Amino acid sequence: MIPEDLVNKLLLNDRRSVARSISIVESGNLKAGELIKKIYPRVGKGYRIGITGPPGAGKSTITNQLTKLLRKENKSVGIIAVDPTSPYTGGALLGDRVRMTDIGQDPGVFIRSMASRGSLGGLSKMTIDAADVLDAAGNDFIILETVGVGQSELDIVKAADTTIVVLVPESGDSIQAMKAGLMEIADIFVLNKADRPGAEQAVAALKTTLMMKEHDEKTWLPDIIKTVASENVGIDKLAKEIFRHHQFLIDMNLFFAKRGKQAKNRIKEIVENKIRHELWSEEGENSLNYFIDKVVPGSLSPYHVAEEILTNYKNNF
């Protein structure tokens, strides 16, 4: 049971209650759903910004500078930073986050790091739940920052109203690798460290690729913003572009359509996640192990076993 007191304090943006609520959604158990159900009527006012890109592109620095800019306009900001963790060290690849000492003390900013390790495919589910918590707490902006290396990371930033893909002049190789996915999700491209050699070529290459995108008047065409985030260069332009994108979504009647599409994906993930938990409980794993001894030598095919499991699952309800 979720205590009413926790919910009430969360809605008043009490920091400890926000932190506790995020821990609840992070645990991924039934309580997460209970909490979201209770706060959902108060969710939806915060504007969600997704920031992704290859490691070392400067995503944290951009998040930091953008947050400072929003704070100057007296907007409150909640940040979820999804850190990939190494299976060897168990720690975050990125180490201690520099910005913690910078904006972390500001009462108008709430930062939470989430590890992508061992989330059993529920990473985007729990990140979006956490964004709802920050939203219900009254944050004007919610920034979801994640390294763009895998599908579940991309799923996170797809849940934003405006998605920013950060690249650097050197990321040619990574761009190639991730092109398909990144092109699809980017509302704004940032070329960070734009004072480095190769910046103009990188922008030109990106523009060429962008021009190949099919579009009509209702298609937002991503612009490329050059920044040097460490020196706060270009962040104001980035903020303007975010607001321009927001306005475009509203003008074109796309804002709620986009949120509807995201809600659909989210519901699907909640349903599938629930089923996975029910299927592969200890009992389910045991019955699977029982079959495996027949599958490996070839006397029973994986499809036979799958049908058996599915029939059992349905008959149990």
Residues 214-253 that bind its own copies (CB under 8 A): none
Which of these segments, 12-20, 58-66, 88-96, 224-232, binds its own copies (CB under 8 A)?
Answer: 88-96
Q: Is 115 in the site for its own copies (CB under 8 A)?
A: no
Which CB atom, from 101 or from 315, has the smaller least distance to its own copies? Answer: 315
Which CB atom, from 250 or from 306, has the smaller least distance to its own copies? Answer: 306
DSSP 144-203: EEEETTSHHHHHHHHTSSEEEEEE-TTTHHHHHHHHHHHHHH-SEEEE-STTSTTHHHHH
CB half-sphere exposure, 128, CA atoms < 13 A = 26
CA distance to 77, 81, 106, 240, per residue, from 74 (Å) = 10, 22, 12, 16
Q: Is 90 in the site for its own copies (CB under 8 A)?
A: no
Residue 168 backbone dihedrals phi, psi, to 5 degrees: -130, 165
The residue whose two tokens read 């704070």 is: 71
Rounded-to-integer distance, Cα 136 and Cα 2, Å? 15
β 223-226/162-167 pair status: unpaired
Q: In angstroms, what is the minimal distance from the CB of 111 to its own copies? A: 23
**Binding mask of the shown chain, residues 8 to 37, with x at each position contacting its own copies by CB under 8 A:** -------------------------xx-xx
Q: In angstroms, what is the minimal distance from the CB of 103 to its own copies? A: 26
Q: Is 208 in the site for its own copies (CB under 8 A)?
A: no
Closest C-alpha to 203, from 233, 175, 178, 181: 175
**Residue ranges of E strands in 43-171:** 47-53, 77-83, 109-115, 141-147, 162-167
SS3 call for 286: helix
Q: What's the token pair of residue 120?
A: 């059993």
Of positions 100, 183, 205, 239, contacts its own copies by CB under 8 A: 183
Of positions 44, 207, 221, 240, contacts its own copies by CB under 8 A: 44
Which of these segments, 16-24, 196-204, 237-245, 269-277, binds its own copies (CB under 8 A)?
Answer: 269-277
Which of these segments, 5-13, 100-108, 228-236, 299-307, binds its own copies (CB under 8 A)?
Answer: 299-307
Q: Is 146 in the site for its own copies (CB under 8 A)?
A: no
Which CB atom, from 140 or from 170, has the smaller least distance to its own copies? Answer: 170
Q: Is 286 in the site for its own copies (CB under 8 A)?
A: no
Residue 108 backbone dihedrals phi, psi, to 5 degrees: -90, 5
CB half-sphere exposure, 279, CA atoms < 13 A = 14
Of positions 27, 151, 247, 281, contacts its own copies by CB under 8 A: 151
Of positions 15, 16, 179, 207, contacts its own copies by CB under 8 A: 179
Rounded (10°) angle between helices 15-27 and 4-11: 120
Q: In angstroms, what is the minimal distance from the CB of 197 to its own copies? A: 16
Q: Which amino acid is at 227?
A: T
Which of these segments, 99-107, 224-232, 236-244, 255-263, binds its own copies (CB under 8 A)?
Answer: 255-263
Which CB atom, from 40 or from 243, has the smaller least distance to its own copies? Answer: 40
For its own copies (CB under 8 A), the number of binding residues is 80
Q: Is 198 in the site for its own copies (CB under 8 A)?
A: no
Which CB atom, from 200 or from 278, has the smaller least distance to its own copies? Answer: 278
